[in-house]
Structure formats: structure tokens, C-alpha cells
Amino acid sequence: MQVSVETTSSLERRLTISIPADQIEGEIAKRLQNMSRNVRLDGFRPGKVPMKVVKRRYGAGARQEVLGEQMQQAFIEAVTQEKLNPAGAPRVEPKTDEDGKDFEFIAIIEIYPEIELNDFSGVEVERPVAEVKDEDINEMIDTLRQQSKTFEDVERAAENGDQIVFDYVGSFASGEKAGEEFEGGKAENSTLELGSGRMIPGFEDGLVGVSAGEEKTLELTFPEDYQAEELKGQAVEFACKVHKVQAASLAELNDEFFERFGVTEGGEDAFRVEVRKNMERELRQAVKTKVKNQVMDGILTGHEFAVPSPLVAQEIDRMREQAVQQFGGAQGGFDPKQLPAELFQKDAEKRVALGLLVGEIVKQKEVKVDDDRVRAMVEEMASAYQEPQQVIDWYYSNDEQLSQIKYVVLEEQVVDTILDAAKVSETECSYQDAIKPAAPAEEAAAEEAAAE
């Protein structure tokens, strides 16, 4: 076997591989010889079919099978011989395929990049420092009561925060379609909480002050960035008929309410303890995530290298599937491939680059998974459930799930390795600011520019 390698880009390699003709012909002869023992053809006894007949009947198929096997074997031997590390399956192009001549083919691959790790001292991290205060707990309890609120009929005009039950019909207010109803603009006995922001600007404000039995027409304009093309910037009218006005009633702090959150004993004091535990867990996770994101962005900034397109394509496919599952499209038979790759390209490239960097740090710094940290993470996750031990046992009996936890822990250990050398400062902030997701870099830059 002969191999020549051409470098066509920083990652792409073009391998020309030649397999000796006698090796190909020998394998074909063996294949046909084995087949001849079992071939059944009219006019011949089993195992007695002449080889020239077997070759004429099955020779082409045997040659294709042998070539496929020989190409695969030759490719593996070639990348091993040339010490190449393919980042995906090769693109294969046959070059010479004639009886009696050496078989030659071209295999085009992308290899993993060589990454030279830089000093991590240039990575800057700002760690939020916050605590859960009593007022934060009070606010969280109010939120939980809001989420469990009920509505009761009232005999008065609607106010912000009330819910109305009403019918509405939307139609175009001007142009050729004036008076014509538009698709999706009609409903009967619909419920709407005024002030929730569910409807287009002006809709909910226009219904503040209405009473049960009242009819009102709203003259509005759809936003220019509305998702439905035919409605962007359109002047419309909504004819509304109100059936009920209902006032919100927050859930009472009683045993029935506490039981919804797994607190069966101890009343409000025990409930507040449970709320605090959950908030502190959320705070720890939020701080950890913000620090990790800054670390990952920092090492990406400090390392520039090309990423293999096969790995990016695989990541795009994963992100497509995640998007479809998130929005329930998988149940309706929606094909993830219908989502444009461009939607995910940038994030996929970032994920692949980070994965390669983390892998290189693990290898060069000889980072090993800490089993104690794995156990601690599983136990913390399990503590959010009523039967923690069952959750722990489930993780440790499920290799796939436990592997995912181990990888998360490994990433955390890599983050710790980088933090040991990075410039870390601490900033005190409120609980709400600490758990608030960090804005993407592009948004943060835009906000700074606007402030200036």
C-alpha cells in the first residue's frame, strides 16, 4: 500500500492511497472460491459450478464488496501510518479502478487541531457574592402564592391584575382588506389577565375599566416586528364582548398550600426553611454557572484555532434535535433537518471549540474525575426530591446518566484549574442580581454603548 498526503488547509488533508492489484485480485479470488462451494445454478450440481461461470455471474458484486473492505482497511492503515487523527468520516473519491491495475482512491479528511495551551493568568473572572435574606424569602413566597392564585367573579369595572372572560373578533381597519377578519384574531370565552403582557401593546390597557356585559372596540396597530407577515404594522380593530370580570385571590399560607411543596409538618416555619434551602441551592448554581461562563469565554478569547467542520455539523444536528424537543415538534413528526443550519452555526462552533479546549486541558493537566465530587453533586440534586435516596440509587444504577454527571464534574475541575491561575475578583450583589442570567456579550456591549 502506498500513501501520499497533501495539506489543503489548516485542518484538511487529501490522502491518495494505492492498493496493489494482486492484493485486490487475490481477495476477489478467495471470495469467489468460497461462493462457488454454495452456489446453486440450474444444470450444475451444488459445489460443481465452474469458476468462470461463478466469476461471470458474481464477479462484479464480489469486486465491489472486496474494494469496500479494502478501502476501509487501507484508510485505517494510512491514517495510522501518517499519524493523522481524523475528526470525522472521510469523503472518498475513486481514482483508478481497472482490472489488473493497482486500485487508487482519494480520502479527504479533516483532522483535530493541535492546541497549544496559553497561560491562564490573563483570564479575568468576577464572582458574584450574595446571600438569601428574609426579604428575598418573602418575595419568593409571594411569587409562589401568585402562581397558585385563583379568580372569583366581581361586580365592578376591571382593573390591572384582574382576569376577564370575553369574546373578541379582529379585523383589518384600513386598506383593501378593511373590515375583513384576519386569521387567528377570533376567540370565544377567552380568559385574559390584564397587565400580563400576553396581547399586543394597547390591547390589555384598552380593557381596563370594562364591566361584565359591556362591549368595546379597540383600535390598535400591530408591531412592525410581529411574527405574522401580513399583520406587521397593520391597523386593526378588535370587537370585544366581556362576560365576566374576576378578581385575583392569592393562595393562603396554610397546610394545604405547604403540602404542594412537600412540607407536611412544621407549618409556615418549616415551609420557610424549605424555601430558603431551595433558594440557596439556586444561588450556588447560578454563581457557579456565571463563573464557569466567564472562564470558558476567557479561555476561548485566549486561544484561536480552526474547528473541524464534521464536529460542527454533528453539534448542529444535536442542537436542532434539542430545539425540536424543546418546542414539542418531535411529537408532531417535525424533521429537525428542516431548521436552517445557519441558526446554530455560531453556537455550534463555540461549543466544539470549548469541548476541544476542555479535552486538551484535561489531557495536559492530567485532570481526573473526583468521585467524591460526583457523589456530592448527585446528593445535592437528589435533595430537591421527597425521596433523595431513591434518586441517588437511580443515578448510580444508570451508567449513561452517571457519565453525564461525571463530565459536568470534570468540567468543574477544569474550571477550578483555570481559576487557580486566573484573576478573580468578588462583587457583592443582591440575590436577584446573582441569579439573573448574564446577558450575552453582544447585548452587554450594546447596553454599555447606550449608557454612554
Strand order in the sheet with 12-19: 2-7, 12-19, 103-110, 91-96
Could you tell me the three cell numbers for 42? 440450474
Give tens-digit pLDDT for 394-416.
999 999 999 999 999 999 999 99
Which domains can be identified in the chain, with CATH numbers?
2-110 (3.30.70.1050), 120-133+258-451 (1.10.3120.10), 150-249 (3.10.50.40)
Nearest residue to 298 via CA among 436, 435, 448, 127? 127
Query: Which long-range CB contacts under 8 A does 419-424 form with residues at least 24 apart?
Result: 419/125, 419/291, 419/295, 420/120, 421/119, 421/120, 421/121, 421/123, 422/120, 422/121, 422/123, 422/124, 422/125, 422/295, 422/298, 423/121, 423/122, 423/123, 423/124, 423/125, 424/125, 424/126, 424/127
pLDDT at 42: 65
pLDDT at 48: 66
What pTM does this model have?
0.74
Antiparallel, parallel or unpaired: β 124-129 and 423-428: parallel
Cα–Cα distance list, 122 to 303, 354, 411, 424 (Å)? 11, 17, 19, 10
Q: What gap in Å lies between CA 439 and CA 203, rounded to an integer?
A: 30
Helix-then-strand count for the chain, H and E: 13, 11
Q: Are 23 and 126 in contact (CB under 8 A)?
A: no
Could you tell me the three cell numbers for 361? 486541558
SS3 call for 129: strand
pLDDT at 329: 60
Give tens-digit pLDDT for 340-370.
999 999 999 999 999 999 999 999 999 999 9
Compute CA 237 distance to the chain's CA centroid, rounded to the nearest angstrom.
40
Q: Are 209 and 199 in contact (CB under 8 A)?
A: no
Tens-binned pLDDT, residue by residue, of the chain (452 aa): 899 999 999 999 999 999 999 998 899 888 888 777 777 666 676 666 677 776 777 778 888 889 999 999 999 999 999 999 999 999 998 787 777 788 999 999 999 999 999 999 999 999 999 999 999 999 999 999 999 999 999 999 999 999 999 999 999 999 889 999 999 999 999 999 999 999 999 999 999 999 999 999 999 999 999 988 999 999 999 999 999 999 999 999 999 999 999 899 999 999 999 999 999 999 999 999 999 999 999 999 989 999 999 999 999 999 999 988 887 765 567 788 889 999 999 999 999 999 999 999 999 999 999 999 999 999 989 988 878 999 999 999 999 999 999 999 999 999 999 999 999 999 999 999 999 987 665 445 444 444 44
Dihedral of the CA atoms 293, 299, 300, 305 (nearest 10)?
Answer: -160
Q: Which residues of 409-429 are buried (b: 16+ CB within 10 A; e: fewer)?
A: bbbbbbbebbbeebebeeeee
Strands (DSSP E) contained in 135-282 are: 150-153, 163-172, 181-193, 215-221, 235-249
Q: Are 128 and 433 in contact (CB under 8 A)?
A: yes
Q: Are 367 and 417 in contact (CB under 8 A)?
A: yes
Residue 264: CB atoms within 10 A of its CB come to 10
pLDDT at 445: 46
Give tens-digit pLDDT for 31-61.
888 777 777 666 676 666 677 776 777 778 8
- Longest CA pairwise span in the chain (Å): 101
Question: H/E element holding 380?
Answer: helix 371-382
pLDDT at 193: 96
